Amino acid sequence: MCILATGAEGNRIGFSVTSKKVPLAVNRNRCRRLLSESYRLIEGKVEKGHDIVYIAKRDISHVGMNKILNETTHLYKRSGALR
């Protein structure tokens, strides 16, 4: 995950799931949906005014939602963007 402070009113979110890392389109779309849902669940705790890009380094379509949520929360804490 890459985070850049922009000072804008809200956050802008982007997802990068390449076909090289996740070959099947069905799995790529599932990865995007899981990442989007993980952001939605902690959106109220994330400070406003950031550009956030999620980059899938491996196929996470078979990983549980709780693990993804824990990992993204940990990344936000490390970056200092979590209230």
Q: What is the pLDDT of residue 3?
A: 93
Q: What are the backbone angles phi and psi of residue 64, rounded to the nearest 5°?
A: -70, 155
The pLDDT > 70 percentage for the chain reads: 100
Structural tokens at position 62: 């078979």
Is residue 5 within 8 A of residue 46, CB to CB? The reply is no
Taking the complete model, does pTM exceed 0.85, yes or no?
Answer: yes
pLDDT digits 0-9 by tens, 40-68: 999 999 999 999 999 998 999 899 999 99
Q: What is the pLDDT of residue 83?
A: 83
Pick the CATH number of 2-79 from 3.40.50.970, 3.50.50.60, 3.30.230.10, 3.30.470.20: 3.30.230.10
Domain locations in the chain as residue ranges:
2-79
Q: Where are the beta strands (DSSP E) in the chain?
A: 2-5, 12-16, 50-55
Rounded distance between C-alpha atoms, residue 72 and residue 76, angstroms: 6
